[in-house]
Homo-oligomer: A and B are copies of this chain.
Amino acid sequence: MINETTKSEFLLQFGKRLGEIKKQKGLSYRKIAENCDLDASFISKIEKGTENITLETILNLSYGLKIQPKEFFDFKVDLEKE
């Protein structure tokens, strides 16, 4: 049903959005890591779109960046694509 390309594009979109928020807030990976239970290198991999993270990691990122989880999904997904 949903092919692998569509899935990886979604992870990339999430990572790109994370990067935008990080830039807006002027935070380093290390600073974000200090505010939550994730380490800096994992956060940078999430931003690169290589990590299929879980809800608990999304919650951690919210604590790390001090924003509501909804903000990470402020982009459009083409639901017609297979």
Alpha-carbon separation in the docked complex, A55 to B73 (Å): 10
Number of residues of chain A lying within 8 A (CB) of chain B: 30
Which partner residue on chain B sits nearest A64 by CB separation? B1
**Total copies of this chain within the assembly:** 2
User: Is the CB–CB distance between A10 and B79 below 8 Å?
Assistant: no
User: Is the CB–CB distance between A77 and B62 below 8 Å?
Assistant: yes
User: Is the CB–CB distance between A1 and B77 below 8 Å?
Assistant: no
Q: Answer whether residue A66 sits at the interface, using C-beta atoms and an 8 A cutoff.
A: yes
Q: Answer whether residue A28 sits at the interface, using C-beta atoms and an 8 A cutoff.
A: no
Chain A residues close to B by CB (< 8 Å): 1-2, 6-7, 10-11, 14, 35-37, 52-56, 59-60, 62-63, 66, 68-70, 72-77, 79
